[in-house]
Structures are given as C-alpha cells and as structure tokens.
C-alpha cells in the first residue's frame, strides 16, 4: 500500500519535449495490477490499485513532473501568487471524456467535495491549513482564485493530488450525501467521466480493467495508445510469467529475484533508479479497541521490538542488497527531507530484553514474555498475501521476536481484505505495509502523521490527539505546512521524524530501490522514482510495431 | 517392496527425531545454499535446513492425513453400513445426504471457513480444523461403497443362516456384515491417506495451510511458484522429488491390496 499519492498526469506540451521519440499511434498497453481496485471514485480511493487506475482517468490543475519533481502546468495553463492568494488560469476548450465542457464551476465543485467533512476524503487533510479550509472563488469561467488561510509552503504542490470532478455527473450524488457510494466498480463505464488521457471502457471482475483513449483529451495528439489494460495479477510470479510471455508490457516495481531472472532476457530492459521514497514498516494497532493495547501502548515494548528487528537481514535476504535499512519514515532516497539526526541503534537482543524488563515485563520459566499484568504476549502480523517480500520480512521478524519470548502469528490476507481491516474495521494487532512514492514533499503525508488523518495507521481519525507526542506532531505538521522558509520547514519536519522515530508507533524496516522493466516495444519510456514509476507519462508512451522502441 | 515402503513411512513419522538440524533455526548467513554434506537439500531463504524441514514436515503431514482418513472411514463405515443394512427411509436419507456432500465445493467451503476463524488462532489447530472439515465432507464416496458391499453381504448365506438361528440384528450387523467391508476400508484408506496428505500440500502451497515458521511439505514447494526459481536454484525441486516415492508407494500399495482383495472375493 502507498500513501494517498498524487495524480500524475504529465503536462509538458509535446512541443517542449522534442527529445521524445516520434510516436506511432495505436495499440493497447498491457500492465499489471497487484490487487483488484476497490473503487473508481478519486474522492474516496485509498488503495494503490484504485489510484493507479484512477490517475489515468483524471487530471489535476497543477501537477508534479515526476522526472524533474517540479510543479508544471496541467489543466491550469498558468498561475500567479500574491501573498497567500493563488490565481489559476484554466485552459480553454477543455472537455470531459463525455464531451461536457470543463469550467471554473467544476473546480469549485471539486474543492467543495474534497473539503466536505462528511465525504471523508483522504485529500481533505491536504486542503486544511491550520484546520481552516481554502477559500475557492470563481472570477470568470476560466479563472479561479484560492485564498489560503495562512502561509503555506509549496502551495502549488497541493493541486497535484486533486483530480478535477465533473459537476454535471456528481453533484446530485454529493447533495444527497451518497458521493462515497458513487463511481463504484459496478457503475456503468459511460457514467465515469474525467479529464485524463483515458476513460473507462470495461471492468471484468477478477480479470482486468480496460481503458480506452479519451477522444476529448486536452493534450493535442495524445495519448498515443488506443487503450490501456490493467490485468489483475495478484502474484508477482504471475506478472513475471505474463511479462516474459509478452502479455504484459511494463513491470512497475521489480523484486530483486525477478531482476536477476529478467537480466538474462534480451526482450526486457531493466532500469534501477536507486533508493525509493517507499518505507516498509510494521504498524501497531493503538486504537482504543486494540486487544493488545496495554503492551503496544508501552513505548519500551515498541522500542524493544525495534531493537530486536534484524534490518540488515531484511536488506540482504529479502531485497538481495537492493534496499537500505531505515529507522525513520523518510528514506535516504529523499535527499531534500532526510534527517541524519535519527538514531540508528545497533540490533541487540540484550538491549531489547533490558528495555522490556525496565517496563515491568517478565519471562516465565519457559521463556515466554509476560506483560506487567502477567499475561503472555502474543500477537499477529497482517501481511498482504500478494507481497512475497513483506511475507519474508514477517518471517524474519517472527524469528527475531521469538528471541524475546514473543509468539508471533503471521496472517497473510488478500490486499483488499487487509486494507479493510486496517483502515475500517481495525480488527488487527499489527500490520506490515509500505508507504511513500507520491511526492518527496511532506505535505501529502498530512493524513499519515496528523492524529485526525484517515491514514494515521496506528490510531486514525482521532477527534483530539490521544497522546502529547501526537499533539506535538499535529502542531509540527501544521507549522511546517505554513512555514515559507525552506530551512524552517526542514527543521520542523526533522523534528517530526525524530518524534516518530523515538515513539515508534511504526517500526521502520527498509526502503527498497526502484527497479522497473519494460518490453523493448514500449517507446518514450521515462521511469521515475516517484509514483507511478512507469505510467506517469502514459499519454506519451507508444508501442513500436517493428522492432524495439527507443 | 511393501516392507520397504512401510519402512519409509516409519522413517518419515520419526522425521523430527531424525532431522539433522533444528528445522526452525535461521542461520541467515547460510541462506539459499545449494546441497552440501551438511545440508543435504540445501537451505531456504532464511538459512533453514531444507532436509530438516522436509523430515519435520513429513510427520505432521502424515499424521494429519491419517487422522482425517480415520475420521472419514469411521463416518463412512457407520452411515454406509446402516444405510445398506437397514434400508428403507434410513437408506434414502443417508444416500440423499451423501449426494449433497458429494456436490459440495470443498475448496470454497474451506476458504469461507478460514475467513471465519479468528486471526489469532494458532496455525496448527487452525489447520487441523480445516483438514478435519475436509474429512467431514469427504465421507460420502466411501459410504456409498460400504453400502453396496453391505447390501451384498446381508444377502449372503451365512447371514440368512444367522437370522434363521435367531441371532439379534445388531449382532449380525457388527459380527457378520461389517467385517465384509474391512478389505474395502483398507483399500480406501490407502487411497484417502495420500489424498489428504496432498490436500495439506495443496493448502500450504496456496498459503492456506500451516503458517510460518512451522515446516510443512506444501510450504517447501512454495518457492517453485516463482518463475525464476529453478533457473537460479535448481535444488529447490529436491523436496518435491523426495515426496514422490511416498505418493507412488501409496498408489502401488492400494493397487496391490485392491487386487488381492478382489481375488479373495472371487475365490
């Protein structure tokens, strides 16, 4: 799973990308999805598969160019800043995929929906600055102003995550309070309209999601492809077999073993982009209904588990050395925001046991860890059944923590069922997941670190912070969002990293490299470290009909 | 040949005692080793000795398979025997029930059951429960075979003679009719036992079986799902090759037993 990641339509005009290969039109690009999408609704989508599909259907006002990591115009052809007020000029003659015109009314509608507390959109956290909403006003049919309630660093990056919605299609659902139910996978394809390069053609449950070229797409002459098909292949082995058979054109994130296998194949090109922004972690369930709250709520317990975790083994055995061990949530791959003040305590079972002892934990004669109330400490790790790497990490942690006298059960679950337990029902002890990849900037992770956030995985949607350190996190995240000086922002966000690393509501484990592969027939292939690594410029991709593409 | 095979089963049942290493011990610096004198079948992703895990997993697989087989045959024996011997509405009811169980999609039933079990249930009890569930829905076919044999046996001359001498019906049933099914039950046991062992292997292979870190045969085969595995680590096939004699042996024994029992019936 990844954090609420940003929509990623690339908006450089084709004229400015003269280095791109001459692109033949036509063909259907086939790619893999690791799990079935849960929804086609960009307002409510939390899971990566849904977002991978949705991002090809919609567009945003300003987008982050995944190659340069800088903001570039998208549906807004230009913008100006005066104090805290942003004025965006929209492109003219832009149409939704059903032919309806896109105007400032759609922009106002979209921001009203995302900011609506009842809708509970994960993007809402981004749009609140010191808990105040952004004031959005229409100047004319193609000009919109955004008055921020206070200073907001890198404000134009906010727009990258917000897909523009068609007012004519969704207003009725919003007004009747049913927007969360809108655009499910059962909705007829013709009802789902957007401004992206593709539109939904058909959804075959358990099999594939087929998109077709959006005939009204606003980038002249694009997309090059007639269609894009997402095949639902839960297992990487299946994806690899289909890739080698020529059924799949791109593989987005390769495991190290898959890399070793594909390196010998002449028909595939492999690109290692180095350290990613992704961080893999084990999150505790610290919600009030958690069955293991007394142990999990003890900081020394969490510290002990972190001390006993063998991160080097994870890097060496799981990622075949194509990863970096981490103790905080910002990976070394994020050179702008990585704080080198986060301590890297060496793995020590003795130190872990001492930490447990200091918190009142004891051991019975059989070596089983007992909590201060005398109950044996056991818990389960939820892990995606489609992620071989995370299952391997869980097996290593299970053995590490057995040395502390803790019996850990590993429970592989289908990814959607896992997300449902973690985000909705909260029926889990711990979960092993990964986040990151959307943007290097801290703001998209407001929902992860703020106590009110839907992605505050250890205890989400809090009315008020449950602990002092979470209150401090809330304040720091709000302050960094408003700080205009880069050095001040860095200082504040470094403090966030320090608090999270010290309190350890999540035990950070490793950050893998980004390795992708393409079939040699895919042209204009320009993978990026940011999510989505291979499809961010999907409208420019093409399929070569005679021999390898450049 | 039969003795050799039975010796193999005994060795496998004693597997945990014969394992050269601790099957759970992760020697991480020795991960993914090819076979050596120290590690006959190599090591896995975590540096665990595969031969030890094969031996430790064998006893679990065989014991659970045997338990499930015993349960199936006990149910089949009673229901099939009663249906054949009593006839009438008991027969009708039992056979309609058997029809129902024959069409149950046991795999989906199993998936549903697994999702109902709590996450915190330890893997061994959870898995044993699942396998026993398979057993409970697998009694129908052997029960029909038992019924057929009982229908024949109850018309045999010695049964009529016993009736003529006034022997009570329960005594006739248990002393004269059911023993006629022993050969059939033995053959069925030899067919069902490897089937249930294979069920364990299949479930573990699909991630529904015994969870980590406990060794099981199915879990040893999981790496073979990976397309690149045999390309890079050929020795991962060895556990599968080691399992083959067990299944071939059961099949040969069932054929031998079935043949001899058919011949004895013909005489």
Q: Mind listing the pLDDT tens digit for each residue in A136-148?
A: 999 999 999 999 9
pLDDT given at position B261: 56
Which range marks the domain in which residue B254 is found? 58-266
Provide the token pair at A100: 């309806």
Q: Which residues of A touch B119 (CB under 8 A)?
A: 380, 382, 409, 411, 427-429
CATH number, domain containing residue A303: 3.10.105.10
Residue B118: inside a domain: yes
Residue B200: inside a domain: yes
Residue A258: inside a domain: no
Residue A408: inside a domain: yes
Number of domains in chain A: 1
Residue A473: inside a domain: yes
Q: Which residues of B touch A396 (CB under 8 A)?
A: 26, 28, 46
**Predicted confidence band of residue A155 (pLDDT cuts 50, 70, 90):** confident
Residue B45: inside a domain: no
Mutate to test the interface with B, among A235, A257, A429 (most CBs of B within 10 A): A257
Provide the token pair at B258: 């079935």
Q: Mean pLDDT score of chain B, rounded to an integer?
A: 84
Residue A394: inside a domain: yes
Which range marks the domain in which residue A395 is found? 279-512
Residue B18: inside a domain: no
**Predicted confidence band of residue A318 (pLDDT cuts 50, 70, 90):** very high
Name the more confident of A107 and B233.
A107
- Residue A308 scores a pLDDT above 60: yes
Q: Mean pLDDT score of chain A, rounded to an integer?
A: 89
- Nearest CB partner across the interface for A317, out of B24, B31, B225: B31
pLDDT given at position A292: 81
Q: Tell me, yes or no, if B120 comes closer than 8 A to chain A by beta carbon.
A: yes
Q: How many CA atoms lie within 13 A of A313 on its CB side?
A: 24
Name the more confident of A438 and B164.
B164
Q: Which residues of B touch A264 (CB under 8 A)?
A: 231
Residue B75: inside a domain: yes
pLDDT given at position A21: 54
- Nearest CB partner across the interface for A240, out of B31, B46, B227: B227
* Separation in Å, CA of B213 to nearest CA in chain A: 7
B211–A411 C-beta distance less than 8 A: yes
CA–CA separation, B243 and B208 (whole Å): 20
pLDDT in tens, A479-493: 998 887 889 999 999
Least CA distance to B120: which residue of chain A? A380
Confidence check on the interface: ipTM exceeds 0.90, yes or no: no
Number of domains in chain B: 1
CA–CA separation, A398 and A415 (whole Å): 20
A410–B28 C-beta distance less than 8 A: no
Residue B37 preceded by cis peptide, ω within 30: no
pLDDT in tens, A205-221: 999 999 999 999 999 99
Q: Which residues contact A112 (CB under 8 A, 6 or more apart)?
A: A136, A174
pLDDT given at position A16: 36
Q: Which residues of chain B have pLDDT under 70?
A: 1, 111, 114-115, 117-121, 123, 130, 207, 227-228, 258-267
pLDDT given at position B114: 66
Q: Which residues of A touch B211 (CB under 8 A)?
A: 409-412
CB A520 within 8 A of CB A324: no
Residue A312: inside a domain: yes
Least CA distance to A407: which residue of chain B? B122
- Nearest CB partner across the interface for A385, out of B45, B207, B228: B207
Residue B46: inside a domain: no
pLDDT given at position A463: 93
Residue A287: inside a domain: yes
B232–A260 C-beta distance less than 8 A: yes
pTM above threshold 0.80: no
* Separation in Å, CA of A76 to nearest CA in chain B: 46
Residue A337: inside a domain: yes
- Residue A169 scores a pLDDT above 90: yes
Residue B16: inside a domain: no
B213–A395 C-beta distance less than 8 A: yes
CA–CA separation, A216 and A222 (whole Å): 10
CA–CA separation, A40 and A56 (whole Å): 11
pLDDT given at position A3: 38
Q: Tell me, yes or no, if B31 comes closer than 8 A to chain A by beta carbon.
A: yes
Q: Tell me, yes or no, if B225 comes closer than 8 A to chain A by beta carbon.
A: yes
CATH number, domain containing residue B131: 1.10.3720
B24–A244 C-beta distance less than 8 A: no
pLDDT given at position A188: 94
Residue B51: inside a domain: no
A396–B26 C-beta distance less than 8 A: yes
Q: Is B105 helix (H, G, I), strand (E, B) or coil?
A: coil
pLDDT in tens, A8-28: 333 333 333 334 556 788 899
């Amino acid at each position: 799973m990844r954090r609420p990641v940003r929509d990623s339509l690339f908006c450089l005009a084709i004229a400015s990308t003269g280095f791109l290969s001459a692109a033949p039109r036509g063909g259907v690009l086939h790619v893999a999805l690791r799990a079935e999408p849960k929804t086609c609704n960009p307002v409510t989508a939390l899971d990566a598969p849904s977002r991978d599909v949705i991002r090809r259907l919609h567009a945003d006002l300003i987008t982050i160019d995944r190659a340069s990591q800088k903001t570039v115009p998208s549906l807004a052809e230009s913008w100006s800043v005066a104090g805290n007020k942003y004025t965006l000029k929209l492109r003219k003659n832009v149409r939704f995929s059903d032919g309806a015109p896109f105007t400032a009314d759609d922009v106002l509608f979209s921001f009203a929906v995302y900011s609506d507390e009842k809708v509970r959109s994960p993007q809402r956290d981004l749009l609140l600055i010191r808990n105040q909403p952004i004031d959005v006003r229409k100047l004319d049919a193609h000009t919109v102003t955004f008055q921020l309630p206070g200073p907001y660093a890198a404000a134009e990056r906010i727009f990258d995550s917000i897909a523009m919605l068609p007012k004519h299609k969704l207003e009725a659902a919003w007004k009747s309070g049913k927007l969360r139910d809108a655009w499910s996978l059962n909705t007829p394809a013709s009802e789902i309209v957007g401004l992206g390069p593709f539109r939904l053609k058909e959804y075959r449950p358990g099999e594939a999601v087929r998109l077709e070229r959006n005939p009204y797409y606003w980038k002249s002459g694009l997309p090059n492809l007639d269609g894009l098909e997402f095949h639902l292949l839960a297992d990487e082995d299946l994806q690899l077999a289909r890739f080698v058979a020529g059924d799949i054109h791109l593989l987005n994130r390769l495991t190290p073993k898959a890399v070793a296998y594909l390196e010998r194949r002449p028909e595939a090109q492999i690109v290692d982009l180095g350290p990613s922004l992704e961080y893999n972690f084990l999150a505790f369930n610290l919600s009030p209904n958690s069955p293991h709250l007394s142990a999990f709520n003890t900081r020394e317990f969490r510290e002990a588990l972190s001390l006993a975790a063998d991160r080097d083994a994870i890097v060496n055995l799981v990622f075949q050395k194509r990863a970096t061990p981490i103790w905080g949530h910002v990976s070394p791959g994020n050179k702008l925001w990585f704080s080198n003040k986060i301590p890297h305590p060496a793995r020590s079972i003795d130190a872990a046991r001492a930490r447990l002892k200091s918190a009142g934990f004891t051991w019975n004669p059989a070596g089983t860890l007992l909590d201060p109330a005398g109950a044996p400490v056991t818990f389960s790790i939820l892990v995606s059944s489609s992620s071989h790497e995370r299952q391997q990490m869980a097996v290593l942690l299970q053995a590490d923590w057995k040395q502390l006298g803790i019996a850990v059960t590993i429970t592989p679950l289908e990814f959607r069922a896992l997300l449902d337990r973690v985000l909705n029902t909260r029926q889990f002890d711990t979960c092993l997941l990964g986040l990151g990849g959307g943007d290097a900037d801290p703001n998209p992770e407001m929902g992860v670190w703020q106590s009110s956030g839907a992605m505050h995985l250890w205890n989400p949607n809090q009315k008020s912070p449950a602990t002092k350190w979470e209150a401090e996190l809330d304040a720091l995240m709000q302050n960094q969002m408003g700080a205009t000086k880069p050095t001040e922002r860095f200082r504040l966000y470094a403090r966030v990293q320090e608090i999270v690393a010290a309190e350890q509501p999540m035990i950070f484990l490793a950050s893998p490299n980004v390795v992708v592969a393409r079939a040699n027939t895919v042209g204009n292939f320009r993978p990026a470290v940011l999510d989505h690594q291979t499809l961010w410029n999907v409208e420019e991709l093409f399929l070569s009909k005679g021999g390898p593409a450049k | 040949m039969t003795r050799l095979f039975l010796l193999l089963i005994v060795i496998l049942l004693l597997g945990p005692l014969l394992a050269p290493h601790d099957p759970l011990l992760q020697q991480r610096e020795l991960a993914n080793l090819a076979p050596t004198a120290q590690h006959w079948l190599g090591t896995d992703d975590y540096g665990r000795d595969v031969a030890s895990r094969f031996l430790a997993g064998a006893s679990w697989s065989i014991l659970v398979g045997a338990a499930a087989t015993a349960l199936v045959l006990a149910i089949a024996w009673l229901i099939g025997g009663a249906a054949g011997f009593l006839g009438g509405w008991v027969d009708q009811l039992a056979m309609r029930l058997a029809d129902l169980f024959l069409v149950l999609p046991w795999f989906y039933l199993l998936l549903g059951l697994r999702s109902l079990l709590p996450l915190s249930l330890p893997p061994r009890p959870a898995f044993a429960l699942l396998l026993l569930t398979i057993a409970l829905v697998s009694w129908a076919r052997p029960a029909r075979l038992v019924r057929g044999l009982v229908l024949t046996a109850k018309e045999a001359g010695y049964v009529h003679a016993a009736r003529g001498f006034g022997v009570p019906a329960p005594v006739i049933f248990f002393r004269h009719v059911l023993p006629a099914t022993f050969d059939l039950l033995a053959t069925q046991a030899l067919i069902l036992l490897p089937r249930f062992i294979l069920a364990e292997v299949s479930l573990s292979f699909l991630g529904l079986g015994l969870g980590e870190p406990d060794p099981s045969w199915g879990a040893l085969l999981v790496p073979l799902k990976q397309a690149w595995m045999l390309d890079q680590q050929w020795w991962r096939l060895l556990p599968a090759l080691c399992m083959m004699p067990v299944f071939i042996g059961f099949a040969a024994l069932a054929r031998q037993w079935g043949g001899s029992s058919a011949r004895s019936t013909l005489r």
